[in-house]
Structure formats: structure tokens, C-alpha cells
Amino acid sequence: MNMRPILRLVLAGAMAFSLAACSTSSPTRALQIQPIQSEKYAAIVVDANTGRTLYSASADQIRYPASLTKMMTIYMLFEALDSGRISKSTQIPISAHAASQPPTKMGIKPGGSIDVDSAIRALVVRSANDVAAAVGEYLGGSEAQFAANMTARARALGMTKTTFRNASGLPDAGQQTCARDMALLGMALRQRFPHHYAYFSTREFAYAGKMVRGHNKLLETGGIDGIKTGYIRASGFNIVTSVNRDGKRLIVTVMGGESANGRNAHVQELIQRYLPAAASRGGTHT
């Protein structure tokens, strides 16, 4: 599927966006969204069927991605799967560097390994930093080279404000993005890899005799089928959420939440407000 037309529409969304959608001076004040009161806040709502921006707040301002970074790590894994470079049973070795990453992690010892299928689930559900580093080393030769490859892929997707420095999203002052870029990545994952996309709705999985459970509470809401949460102190609570209801699809990015619950409530508010304005599949607005 050719993603470029829709992705170009998202890039142009800041110009096409109606100011009335988020103006506090609108006569329909009761319908307006109240932004999270934080200097870290940024958000965007994109109609995934058309690429049209329905809501935008500081969406092009530089922010830290935190574990939203792992969306690109997974993108690169999906590419490697589809090219035949790896299979779902391929074992990814865990180096001392990977094992030394701080939590959250799977806790695999140096010299151990994890299969690709479990690695993807660990990135989605557990947001495992040790697995992210191991993937970077395996696919890139080193995590630093993998981060450079991630940045190059971001540019190819039109993510002009994103630079990756590691595969996990752990703190690094040079690792930056914006809400619009993260929405672009969320759309690209769904459009390029529909055959792998179900991974993002995984809530739990079994590994090494234990059940690994996630913490994305929004997956409990009907119509929400992914994608990824993230948090570091510098970023606040981030999320990219995919919504698919009755042929309407949204990508919602919220960055800079002050708590996971507050961030999730804001996402729900954005969905409730803007899903009715989205196009049905095929581009028909209602």
C-alpha cells in the first residue's frame, strides 16, 4: 500500500487544520478540549482514513518520545520479518549491554536470548528496555548504529523532527520528536504492516513460564486497538492510541500527561469529541 498520499496529508495538517476546532473563544465552548496544563503537553488527533488533522496542540513542538521510541524499533523488526532477514523463531542474543538496561525489562541474563515473536510482545506489553537494546544490536550491529538507521527511516516516512539515539526511549537529551511525527509513525505501522498490527492490541503473554501483563488500560475500551505508552521524567506520560470504530479510524497522540490516568482520560475526551467528525472508511464524512 502506498502510504505517501496520507502521510503527506498529515504533514500538511497544521496548515489545513481549522482554528475553530481548538479555539477557546468559540461559541461552542462546551465542546472544546481543555489541554493538559503542563509545558510538556502536546497532542494531535488524525483521521487515519484521510490523513486530516482534527485537533492539534503544540503538535510540532519538540518533545521527548520516551518509550514511544519502541514503535520505531518494532517497525524495523517488522521490516526485517517481511524481507526474510529474520523469522518469528529467530533467537535474538542478550548482551551484557542489553541486560544492563534499567527497568522496565524482561530480566534475561547476558548470554541468553529471546525469540523474535516474544521480543515483539515484550516491547509492546512490557516495554522491555533490555529487549529493545538487544534488538538494536542484532539488527544494527550496535545500538548506536541501529538508532541512526531508525532516524533514517523516520526521515523516509516524513518525520522531520525526530532523532533517535537508542532503541528503547531511555533518557537521552538528543532523542527528540514531536506529536505529529509520532502520529505519522502510528499511521505508518498500521498501513505498512496490517498483517502484524494485532501485536499492538496484546494485553498479556506467556514467557518462560510466567504471564507478562501490560499496563495500557485504554486497550480495555472498545474500538481501541493499540499502540504504545511511554514515560520518562523529562517527557511526562505519553501515548499513541489507535481507534477503529464503525469504519472510522483515529490516531491520537498525547504527550506530557502528569499521570497515566490523567493522560488516558484526556485521550478518551479527544476520542469522544473528534470521532464523530472522522470520515468513514472510503473517505465519507458524517
Taking each helix axis from N to C end, the angle separating 69-83 and 129-140, rounded to the nearest 10 degrees, works out to: 40
Longest alpha-carbon distance in the chain: 63
Q: Which long-range contacts (CB under 8 A, 24 or more apart) does 161-165 make?
A: 161/60, 161/62, 162/65, 164/69, 164/72
Is 67 a catalytic site residue? yes
Dist. CA 53–CA 22, nearest whole Å: 12
* Residue 217 annotated as lining a ligand binding site: no
Q: Which residues contact 29 (CB under 8 A, 6 or more apart)?
A: none
Catalytic position from the list 56, 58, 67, 242: 67
d(CA 114, CA 112): 7
Q: Which of 255, 286, 285 is nearest to 270 (CA)?
A: 255
Q: Is 56 a catalytic residue?
A: no
For residue 86 the three cell numbers come to 529474520
Options 56, 58, 70, 248, the catalytic residue: 70
Place of cell 538487544: 134
- Read off the DSSP letter of residue 108: P
Q: Which of 127, 168, 235, 242 is catalytic?
A: 127
Whether 87 is a known active-site residue: answer no
* 3-state secondary structure (DSSP) of residue 252: strand
Q: What amino acid positions are annotated as catalytic residues?
A: 67, 70, 127
Binding site for substrate, by residue number, is 228
